[in-house]
């Protein structure tokens, strides 16, 4: 198994188990000494840097659906939510989907996961609201874990 496969499996396993574990029992990556500005103060680092996305931060009680915050070089670059098909059928409101204070949405990636994925195994949409341009996004975390779902148009 490659390093990338191990890292992605570890991240998926964390997303799957984190909400069910008692507080303090989660196996998180080492936390930086300084909490980044611009995201909730109770958000913690949940994944290493992923190419084109950055580090993933989340408030543990909000996993797996989010919001999840992507950071690169200490600054927010996206907010992610996962919306189940069942939520959409019930009338999910996009009114509460907005940028972090002080940021504007540049573009959105909207990906359907018909079988779900580790951590959220129901049919759903992964929604990434990016605060940077696609050109900037393409250069995020060049030495990080490859994002297997990165579209060729974003390279």
Query: Model pTM greater than 0.75?
Result: yes
pLDDT of residue 98: 85
Query: With 90 as the cut, is the pLDDT of residue 23 above it?
Result: no
CA distance 136 to 43: 24
Answer yes or no: are the C-beta atoms of 82 and 64 closer than 8 Å. Answer: yes
More confident residue, 154 or 142: 142
- Percentage of the chain with pLDDT > 70? 77
Q: What is the chain's mean pLDDT, rounded?
A: 82
Cβ count near 129 (within 10 Å)? 22
pLDDT of residue 4: 38
Q: Which DSSP state fits 146?
A: -
CA distance 93 to 96: 7
CATH number for domain 3-154, candidates 3.20.170.30, 3.40.1110.10, 3.30.70.20, 3.30.200.270: 3.30.200.270
Q: In b/e form, how buried is each residue of 47-85, taking b as 16+ CB within 10 angstroms? A: bbbbbbbbbbbbbbeebbbbbbbbbbeeebbbbbbbbbb
Answer yes or no: are the C-beta atoms of 29 and 47 closer than 8 Å. Answer: yes
Structure confidence by residue, pLDDT tens digits, 104-133: 999 999 899 999 988 899 999 999 999 999
Residues facing residue 56 across a β-bridge: 47, 70
Q: Which DSSP state fits 35?
A: P
């Amino acid at each position: 198994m490659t390093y990338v496969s191990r890292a992605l499996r570890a991240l998926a396993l964390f997303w799957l188990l984190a909400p069910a574990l008692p507080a303090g029992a989660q196996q998180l990556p080492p936390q930086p000494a300084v909490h980044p500005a611009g995201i909730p103060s109770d958000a913690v680092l949940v994944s290493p840097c992923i190419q084109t996305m950055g580090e993933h931060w989340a408030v543990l009680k909000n996993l797996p659906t989010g919001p999840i915050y992507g950071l690169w070089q200490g600054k927010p670059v996206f907010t992610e939510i996962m919306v189940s098909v069942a939520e959409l059928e019930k009338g999910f409101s996009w009114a509460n989907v907005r940028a972090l204070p002080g940021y504007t949405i540049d573009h959105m990636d909207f990906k359907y996961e018909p079988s779900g994925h580790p951590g959220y195994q129901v049919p759903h949409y992964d929604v990434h609201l990016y605060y940077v341009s696609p050109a900037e996004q393409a250069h995020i975390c060049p030495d990080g874990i490859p994002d297997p779902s990165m579209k060729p148009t974003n390279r």
